[in-house]
Chains A and B, each alone.
Chain A
Amino acid sequence: MRVPSLLSRIYKLFESIEVKWYNASMSVEIQIPNFLHHLTGGVETFETEGITVGECLDALIQRFPPLKEQVFDEKGKLRELLNVYVNRESAYPEELEKPVKDGDSLQIAYTLVGG
């Protein structure tokens, strides 16, 4: 069982290097949800570059620092109550590690659906 797992890791490593090489400058749009608009001065979308969901969110927070506490927990993970979508598909369980490509859009929403 160890051999396939090791091979798989090596493959993923090469794959990520390759992705980084060819996508050094990728434009990704983050759609900021209405419950965070008061922390972005009403800005609803943000264009950024990055190769993972995590990198894109880091860039968002660099631009709007008050979002940090709302988006990440104290360990730097996406908050338990939040979900990120890549082109409307949930990024869970990879979440911050999930790769993105040029032209993707990210959406942020609570995981809740009622109460």
Chain B
Amino acid sequence: MAVNTGKILRVNLTMGEVATESVPEQIAEDFVGGRGYGIKYLYDELPPNVDPLGADNKLILLTGPLAGTSAQAVSRWMVVTKSPLTGAFARSVGGADFGAWLKFAGYEMVIIDGKSDRPVYIHITGEGCQIKDAAGLWGKETKETQEWLKQQHGNNTRVTCIGPAGERLVKYAAIVSDRRTAGRCGTGTVMGSKNLKAVAVTAQRILHLHDKEAYDRLVKEQVGIIRESKGFENHKEWGTTNTQNVTNSIGIYPVMNFRYGQQVDYDKISGGEYRRFRTGEFGCYSCPARCGKAHLVQSGPFKGAYSEGPEYESIWAFTGSIDSTSIEATIAADQLCDDLGLDTISAGSCIGFAYELYEKGILTKADTDGLELNYGDPTPMVELIKKIAMRDGIGNILAEGSRKAAATIGKGAEKYAIHVKGLELPAYEPRGSKTQGYNYVTSSIGASHCYGYSGQDVFGAIEPRPSDRFAEEENADLVIFNQDGTASRETGIVCTFSSGWGWVPALYGRMLVAARGIEKLGDSDYLNKVGERIFNLERAFNIRQGLGRKDDTLPDRMLTEPLHTREAPGEGQIVRRQEQFLDRYYELRGWTKEGVPTSQKLEELGLADVVKDISGK
């Protein structure tokens, strides 16, 4: 049986050209797939200093080696590119069915470059690929866009697309599929810059596995393990709609632009309260958890708002940021972001930033188009989302992200911009969860919780060891463990949640062997090494762009202002030892004092070619 490495579809929008190729076996062995393929091709093909919104930037859509099969929780999709929000490496992950459909059409990667001179969409089938006119789609929201393309190409079509926010180059525009988004880093902005409205795939279920019989046996084993997991049962029941119960109780739910770690009356936004609004559930391809919980507002000023969400991050983005406990407004805000194509985390965070500037008098009604941004009032927040997506008035400034918006506003606004490398912080307070905070600091994409999630700090996870969540450089090893483990799992774009259901990493490796036919991938230690290789190559990508130690920092607030946690533990916590942490982290990573991977480390990881690119940085 032949080795199965996956196929690449290349689309050049400037030339209107399409080509296909196979991934070489050595790359499959070294990088496995998914995020590994993404950074390998982006690093090799994208020179430094390319304008993220120029024709030369590449937008890479990926699905995993196990996608589209009957295996559980492995059919997500990923986008890799250079971020217009951070100027650094970008990776963002989405769910629903698109990953499976891309695989059915025969591809694991679509590498898009160039720029069309008019709005277009890409239509992929099992027989080929066409670039089609999208003039009639330009301006449409994401739901309408997907419905239109399904009408056009049949129900056996799945779509990723941008909304009005991506068309207007809002710097944190998302790519949306069904109601799931690859939200972070402005991947939708890059898509908009190429005049690319959508990628649609029409395909029948066809799969090529190296050893189907062995694979089917492993899937049976996987299903058995998952169904006996309490984590799975809980996730099926609640999705992430009760995570705020936990984070508030331990004082790490960011409130009022990261001033407090607990929201007053947080029981009003508990999972139980969200349950009262629930009208249904939805999930990704071949995943029985169906963790997306749909909510409908039945009465009041937001009556009729319907969202296939919000999940934890979006619940926080539209409550904690502005100190509101309105579930109704949160559902309306979440729906708007999905329709308009915005990252909920950056949108909510930028709005929380604007509310604080208003409180401090740095912004006034004259600056906010007459909106009064008073904490606790969610109505202006909903208006701001529309303004950001349409780049209207104050929305045009906030659409640039908090870092650039602060520079534009001036008057000391920089102090209140809460980001790492330009990417807004998500819903875990770094001062009360320092392993998580240092993951933000050292992440190549900026402040992403998913880049190396610290289950040890947040949920008391016991592997590889429990953490003291207020400790600093003592937890550098845990940050590395979480980051490399995530990169390893994302070679298959494995759902983060499912990684706690007992089948990863051992069974994952054996499934890769059955799918790919590369024996090495069955070794968990080898897969961890691949994770480290991926992480280092992403770091090298950023070093080549001019990023380094100076960019590895939390916002000033976390370094200078004590956290207030109200009734939760952690009152007065502050991040005091960032420099000592970086020294320790770099040392453990095998990097220089400046945070540059050493030639010795790169050679050990099989990345000797990279040495010349970053030596002397």
Contacts and interface: CB of A to CB of B under 8 A. Distances in A.
Given A81-B246, A90-B229, A92-B228, A115 B460 contact: no
B257 interface: no
B398 interface: no
A1 interface: no
Interface in A75-91: 80-81, 83, 85, 88, 90
B15 to A, nearest CB: 41
A47 B450 CA distance: 36
A113 B459 contact: yes
A113 B468 contact: no
A11 interface: no
Nearest to B241: A115
A48 B380 CA distance: 55
Nearest to A83: B230
Nearest to B244: A115
B230 A88 contact: no
A108 B462 CA distance: 8
B307 interface: no
Interface in B489-541: 496-497, 499-500, 502
B460 A110 contact: yes
Contact of A114 (B237, B460, B496): B496
Chain A interface, >50% SS class: mixed
Contacts of B249: 35
B313 interface: yes
Contact of A113 (B457, B466, B496): B496
Contacts of B467: 34
Contacts of A81: 234, 242, 245-246
Contacts of A80: 234, 237
B250 interface: yes
B246 A35 contact: yes
A115 B240 contact: yes
B462 A112 contact: no
A80 B246 CA distance: 12
Chain B interface, >50% SS class: helix
Contacts of B247: 115
A83 B455 CA distance: 13
A38 interface: yes
Contacts of A37: 569
A113 B453 contact: yes
A8 interface: no
Interface residues of A, number: 24
Contacts of B502: 90
Contacts of A111: 230-231, 233-235, 459, 500
Contacts of B242: 81
Contacts of A93: 228, 230
Given A35-B249, A81-B242, A110-B460, A115 B427 contact: yes
A34 B249 CA distance: 12
B212 to A, nearest CB: 30
Contact of B231 (A35, A88, A112): A112
B167 interface: no
Contacts of B230: 83, 90, 92-93, 111
Given A38-B569, A81-B246, A112 B228 contact: no
Contacts of B210: none
B204 to A, nearest CB: 33
A114 B497 contact: yes
B34 to A, nearest CB: 17
Given A93-B228, A114-B240, A108 B461 contact: no
A31 interface: yes
Given A112-B243, A114-B453, A34 B466 contact: yes
A107 interface: yes
Contacts of A59: none
B157 to A, nearest CB: 30
B243 A115 contact: yes
Nearest to B231: A111
Contacts of A103: none
Contacts of B312: 115
B466 A31 contact: yes
> Which residue of A81, A88, A93, A112 has the most chain B CB atoms within 10 A of its CB atom?
A112
A109 interface: yes
A64 to B, nearest CB: 15
Contacts of A65: none
Given A34-B460, A113-B497, A115-B247, 4 more contacts: A31-B462, A113-B231, A114-B240, A114-B449
Closest 3 CB pairs of A and B: A33-B460, A113-B500, A110-B459
17 contacts: A34-B460, A34-B467, A34-B468, A35-B460, A90-B229, A90-B502, A107-B462, A110-B458, A111-B230, A111-B231, A112-B235, A112-B240, A112-B243, A112-B459, A113-B461, A113-B496, A114-B449
